[in-house]
Homo-oligomer: A and B are copies of this chain.
Amino acid sequence: MAENAAHTGATPEGRPARPDLAAMIVPLGRALTAAEQPVLDAHGLTMWAYTVLLHLEETPIRTQAALAGAIRADKTRIIAVLDDLEARGLIHRQPDPEDRRARLLSLTTEGRRLRDAVQSAIQQGEERLLARLPAADRAAFLRSLQELSALPEVAPRKPGHATDRKDPH
């Protein structure tokens, strides 16, 4: 009896010991997103634009399609975003001399500066939330989150992987 309950800690009556993970995490994500919005608004960035700035920081990207894949966006969805960021001088976007179909993408100095300012403000807000947790729990929470984010079913695809090809051969 109650073999499954042994996994989830459900009571003998069958009610679970905790809410569904998704039922806690999705609203938390919404709240964090809502908290970011005023910061983004203050700097004239959409969530997509900020996401682009974040992902260009690490490594310059060789095609827009690769960027779109990395941030789990449709390639057509980021075009207007890139148009705006380029017009404001926050990113470079130049045809690859070796294959002029592709567009090399990278941050400008100004783009990096804005990105750092926004991220700093956002993380300060997040720290106020995390302050509600005991120090040990908080460290374990962040560690767990980074661990789970790295799982293949959670992490966005990195460009250049074999699985990016339509034909697996």
Contacts and interface: CB of A to CB of B under 8 A. Distances in A.
B26 A29 contact: yes
A91 B119 CA distance: 46
Interface string A16-34: 1011111111111111111
A146 to B, nearest CB: 7
Contact of A141 (B23, B119, B141, B153): B141
A53 B35 CA distance: 29
Contacts of A29: 22, 25-26, 28-29
Nearest to A23: B54
Number of copies: 2
A144 interface: yes
Nearest to A129: B148
Contact of A123 (B16, B35, B119, B136): B16
A41 to B, nearest CB: 15
A10 interface: yes
A140 interface: yes
5 contacts: A14-B116, A21-B123, A27-B155, A28-B148, A132-B151
